Amino acid sequence: MATGASSDIRSAPLISCGAMNVRTRFAPSPTGLLHVGGARTALFCWLFARHHGGTFVLRIEDTDRERSTQASIDAILDGLRWLGLDADEGPWFQTDRLAIYQEYIERLLCTGRAYRCWCTREELDAMRDAQRARGEKPRYDGRCRHRTAAPPAGVEPVIRFANPLDGAVVFNDLVRGTVSFDNRELDDLVIARADGMPTYNFGVVIDDLDMDITHVIRGDDHVMNTPRQLNIIAALDAAPPHYAHVPMILGADGQRLSKRHGAVGVMQFRDDGYLPEALLNQLVRLGWSHGDQEIFSREEMVAKFDIEDVNRAPAAFDYDKLGWLNQHYIRQADSERLGALLAEQIERMGLGAPSAVSPSALADIQRDRARTMAEMADKSRFAFEEYGEFDERAAKKHLRPVALQPLEAIRERLGAVAGWEPEPLHAAVNECAAALSVNLGKVAQPLRVALTGTAASPAIELTLQMVGREASLSRIDRAIAYVRNRADQS
RNA sequence: GUCCCCAUCGUCUAGCCUGGCCUAGGACACCACCCUUUCAAGGUGGCGACACGGGUUCGAAUCCCGUUGGGGACGCCA
């Protein structure tokens, strides 16, 4: 009604994406797991491309041979696959494109927009220390720009970009608005290492240009790289893509996300029993919103996402909300799927023994009671194995002498029940309570403690079903013995 | 240290651009009650924020300045 009536007609968009073939890219460096920050960046890129009917490209920035690993590449690919963030192109690997970078480096060298630098590590360190000591921002002073002396023998030079000395770089960031940097704040960055490998700032520029990327959507930590990249693009006489810098994701404590915050890798969430759609929903709401809507299906995200609705402030990752979302999706997940997921968790917990009901039946019984699949498995332990000691408080409250009669009565009825199914089991418990003229709780609670060792479990007839006939009867016997024993001692 | 950015309930956010509809709305969490054979789920209600200080204006969460707080960037990492 009120919301439906509001006009959806926007004023002219910043960029006319309608006519343009939108191309976004996610360009992680394979030096670790796909963490939530990277996953959200990937999600935004994917969403933007899908929303505009464009193309989502995946590019692996593996030019740092020291730190790049195949294991990381696999981890990133696994994470993206799990989240369903499928790429339309790629993955491309920068190390497969070395010749391309080389070509552009030669070009910049020829046009005098790049130069060789023989400064040693020690020399650079000394320079930066001196600058810091003077209260200046450490930056390369361009001493090799016009070096006339012969280069030292045996030293392989790096290539530096000759950044403009004055003026400013101004660009319109799709989430931050107009951003301006004074060229004096920048310096002559290294674009090719001594071994010829391009550095990040050069590789991205060439690839984004070469791959016709129209919208560069990346983390906030790259804003300062943008003017440098824009200068290189200008030196190449090329047209720059649009930029959108999205805020970072902070840990629950408001601090930068790090290993201390637990689940660093996206796959850890799967192992912990989260559903990918829950993580996706959580991620999309960090820094982005659409009115008061909290739940977004993949299709809704695609339909409603736009980069101009993204925030500028960093957001903290909240596990409580993730848990709520996860439970929401668990509650509406397909039984078969949930059963398979539950079976994985059961396996993981070493609860291999077969149970009286199938994993999917178990999931249907427990779906309202768990925020994660791991929790669901844990809460279902009693269906797989005999519990140890009775929960102290539960036993004290429900396995008192007065429970003896109800337990014996229900033991007898259950022993005679035909068909160990919810209906007859429910009837048996009800009839038992009626015969004894007591509240249902007087029978159900002692029975529950007898079956599970605790005072909390699914509806009593379902609990009986989960435990199975044989185990149920023996556990009731155990509880009866416990109550008798306790009565004798007092 | 230098440069840049950010600032609404504990958390995610709506509102801010185009001041008045805001005694600031929603969600998570928390508390209470209802429902109930337990635990959940569900329902109802409650607690709870415009960081601070100055302006501008008839009127500011919304515009401007400053302060404070937080974050980011300063590599032959990405």
A137 touches strand B (CB under 7 A): yes
Residue A258 — pLDDT band, cuts 50, 70, 90? low
A375 touches strand B (CB under 7 A): no
Over residues A5-51, the pLDDT tens digits come to 322 222 333 444 445 699 999 999 999 899 999 999 999 999 999 99
Residue A58 — pLDDT band, cuts 50, 70, 90? very high
Is the confidence at residue A261, as pLDDT, over 90? no
Q: Tell me what pLDDT residue A152 has.
A: 77
Q: Tell me what pLDDT residue A4 has.
A: 31
Instruction: Give this prediction's pTM.
Output: 0.91
Number of Cβ within 10 Å of residue A254's Cβ equals: 9
User: In the β-sheet with A168-173, what is the strand arrangement from edge to edge?
Assistant: A89-93, A55-60, A23-26, A215-219, A242-246, A168-173, A177-182
Low-confidence winner among A9-23, A93-107, A110-124 (lowest mean pLDDT): A9-23
Share of chain A above pLDDT 70, in %: 94
Nucleotide showing the shortest C1' distance to residue A134 CA: B1
Low-confidence winner among A249-263, A314-328, A354-368 (lowest mean pLDDT): A249-263
| Catalytic center residues of A | 259
CB A229 within 8 A of CB A203: no
Residue A277 — pLDDT band, cuts 50, 70, 90? very high
Q: Tell me what pLDDT residue A135 has.
A: 86
Share of chain A above pLDDT 90, in %: 79
Over residues A454-464, the pLDDT tens digits come to 999 999 999 99
Over residues A167-221, the pLDDT tens digits come to 999 999 999 998 999 999 999 999 999 999 999 999 999 999 999 999 999 999 9
Residue A490 — pLDDT band, cuts 50, 70, 90? low
Question: Which residues have a Cβ under 8 Å from the Cβ of A31 and sit 6 or more positions away?
Answer: A64, A67, A68, A69, A72
Closest CA to A219 of A34, A37, A79, A29: A37
Is the confidence at residue A361, as pLDDT, over 50? yes
Mean pLDDT of A99-117: 94
Distance A415 CA to B28 C1' (A): 46
Within 7 A of a protein CB, which nucleotides of strand B? 1-8, 10-14, 18, 25-29, 37-41, 70-78
A129 touches strand B (CB under 7 A): no
Is the confidence at residue A57, as pLDDT, over 80? yes
Is the confidence at residue A293, as pLDDT, over 50? yes
> What is chain A's mean pLDDT, rounded?
90
Burial of A484 (0-12, 13-18, 19+ CB in 10 A): middle
CB A205 within 8 A of CB A233: yes
Q: Tell me what pLDDT residue A259 has.
A: 60
Over residues A437-446, the pLDDT tens digits come to 999 999 999 9
Nucleotide showing the shortest C1' distance to residue A249 CA: B71
Tell me how far apart the alpha carbons of residues A439 and A398 are, in angstroms, rounded to a whole number: 14
Give the residue nearest to nucleotide B17 (CA to C1'). A177
A439 touches strand B (CB under 7 A): yes
Nucleotide showing the shortest C1' distance to residue A289 CA: B13
Is the confidence at residue A285, as pLDDT, over 80? yes
A264 or A369, greater pLDDT: A369
Residue A146 — pLDDT band, cuts 50, 70, 90? confident
Tell me how far apart the alpha carbons of residues A335 and A358 are, in angstroms, rounded to a whole number: 11
Question: Which residues have a Cβ under 8 Å from the Cβ of A244 and sit 6 or more positions away?
Answer: A44, A48, A173, A174, A175, A215, A216, A217, A218, A307, A310
